[in-house]
């Protein structure tokens, strides 16, 4: 919302005078003006792709759905604490973090190649 309020209202007035409708204003003014903000937020949140909501999966999981609903977080908990195999649980958690970091680097690379805003 704050990115949209930072857009100069004169652009919308000029578009209205030129006969642009609501969708044309969105397509040609709002989206291009908020593209840097959208890209930064996308890059910051792409690392959370592997987070599937541990609490919901753990609380609502039962014996019937366990074979198809296990996530990495539940796997780490099961093997790390229940089986007393802390090294395997830690390795799985670190692997998940490394994959998330790799996804962020790939998304940042593509943002750099397209000329958009990037994290670094």
Burial class (CB in 10 A: 0-12, 13-18, 19+), 107: buried
Span between the terminal Cα atoms of the chain, in Å: 24
Return phi, psi of residue 84, to 5°.
55, 35
Q: Where are the domains of the chain?
A: 2-114
- CATH fourth-level superfamily of 2-114: MetI-like (1.10.3720.10)
pTM: 0.71
Per-residue pLDDT of the chain (120 residues; tens, 9 = 90+): 889 999 999 999 999 999 999 999 999 999 999 988 888 888 888 988 888 778 888 888 888 887 787 888 887 887 788 888 888 888 888 998 999 999 999 999 988 888 877 777
């Amino acid at each position: 919302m704050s990115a949209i309020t930072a857009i100069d209202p004169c652009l919308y007035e000029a578009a209205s005078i030129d006969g642009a409708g609501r969708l044309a204003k969105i397509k040609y003014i709002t989206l291009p003006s908020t593209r840097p903000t959208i890209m930064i937020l996308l890059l910051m949140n792409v690392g959370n792709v592997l987070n599937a909501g541990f609490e919901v999966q753990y609380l609502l999981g039962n014996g019937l759905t366990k074979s198809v609903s296990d996530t990495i977080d539940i796997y780490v908990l099961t093997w790390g604490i229940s089986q007393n195999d802390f090294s395997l649980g830690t390795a799985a958690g670190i692997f998940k973090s490394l994959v998330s970091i790799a996804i962020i680097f790939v998304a940042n690379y593509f943002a750099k190649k397209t000329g958009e805003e990037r994290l670094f």
